[in-house]
Amino acid sequence: MSRLGNLGARLYRGEVGYDFIRNRKIWYGISILITITAIIGVAVGGLRMGIEFKGGAVFTTDTKAQISTAQATDVATEASGHMAIVQELGNGGLRIQITEVDTAKANEIKETLSDELGIPANDINADLVGPSWGEQIANKAWTGLGVFMVLVVIYLAIAFEWRMAVAALIALIHDITITVGVYALVGFEVTPGTVIGLLTILGYSLYDTVVVFDSLKEGQKDITKQTRFTYSEIANRSINSTLVRSINTTVVALLPVAGLLFIGGGVFGAGMLNDISLSLFVGLAAGAYSSIFIATPLVADLKERDPQMKALKKRVLAKRAAAAAKGESPDEDGTEDLHDDTETAGTVIGRPRSHGRTPGKR
């Protein structure tokens, strides 16, 4: 078995681990800081909405222009009075997108482009998108997002419990805010592809969260009948048991998306890929983070306020105090701080969990 596989097996058995729950205030602070930055980015820079949402015109040519893409951008911007977005197509043609353009203005722009690009006007295709249609698309996008959130809360409340539903909803809002904030800071255009990417990463984030919740649900069966672990400790063991799986699935998902974003959009200049690939890349990373560092710690915080869990925690701590007074080794949760260990992948493990009495005592 590889070192990583051995570490994953030990994490799953609870022999080693990291105390995510104890350090939850650090993760909350990091998330709050990132979220505030994202909100400021949206408030200050705003979002560059595509013509599907604002209305406008798209001009495409099948013939290679006689001027560069940068020059075409200047020509289209000057002719329309609005910032133009010009992309070079695979066949050498151009795609020129201009927002807030009506039919009369589009005809004027088409003639100007024909003269400046050196292409006959009949070879330039113009597609118009009305602002009312764009508004309908935006409303449908918001409606779809709202329906998705409601269904998520209902499902999790039925399948698990309301605390998990609330925690998952907060994690999803966290992921959306960060993704939208990155779009505002980077300046990428928001298109229907962006909305599709958002809904996709929300589904992925929810899947990752449900995996941890399912492990937690299994681990908390008959929790009040034992005095070995508090609820937070069981939640922590659930995170550790699914940690390697979450990391593996996230890395595997991020690799092809990174190819779309950095190679397809960056190297080959396929700008249309940026719409969906950026939302997927940021959302996948944020979703993996929130399922581990936000959702489950929030569940533990909410659950520990329950009178039964408070009573359980008192019994567990009392048992450990009594065992310590007798010089015995109480049952622990096995989630020690991580440290370097040359025998296990050179990364992070803790000491094995102790069971029963100290060796030599009977």
Mean pLDDT, 10 residues at a time, over the chain (362 residues)?
58 67 91 93 84 80 77 83 77 78 81 83 80 72 82 88 92 91 84 81 84 88 87 90 84 85 62 74 89 92 91 90 78 41 35 40 38
Q: Is residue 281 part of a domain?
A: yes
Residue 329 main-chain phi, psi, to 5 deg: -100, 110
Q: Is residue 357 part of a domain?
A: no
Q: Any idea what DSSP says for residue 339? A: B
Q: Does 243 lie in the same domain as 164?
A: yes
User: Among residues 99, 129, 159, which one ends one of the domains?
Assistant: 129
Is the Cβ–Cβ distance between 48 and 190 less than 8 Å? yes
Q: Does 45 lie in the same domain as 125?
A: no
User: Among residues 77, 111, 129, which one ends one of the domains?
Assistant: 129
Is the Cβ–Cβ distance between 281 and 198 less than 8 Å? no
Q: Is residue 104 part of a domain?
A: yes
Three-state DSSP class for residue 64: coil
Q: Is residue 327 part of a domain?
A: no
pLDDT at 11: 58
pLDDT at 331: 54
Residues 6 or more apart whose CB falls under 8 angstroms from that of 64 comprise 92, 93
Q: How would DSSP label each residue in 188-235?
A: PEE-HHHHHHHHHHHHHHHHHHHHHHHHHHHHTTTGGG-SS--HHHHH
Q: Is residue 352 part of a domain?
A: no
* Alpha-carbon distance values, 308 to 221, 304, 312, 333 (Å): 14, 8, 6, 19
Range of the domain at 120: 56-129
* Alpha-carbon distance values, 346 to 54, 131, 338 (Å): 53, 57, 11
pLDDT at 116: 81
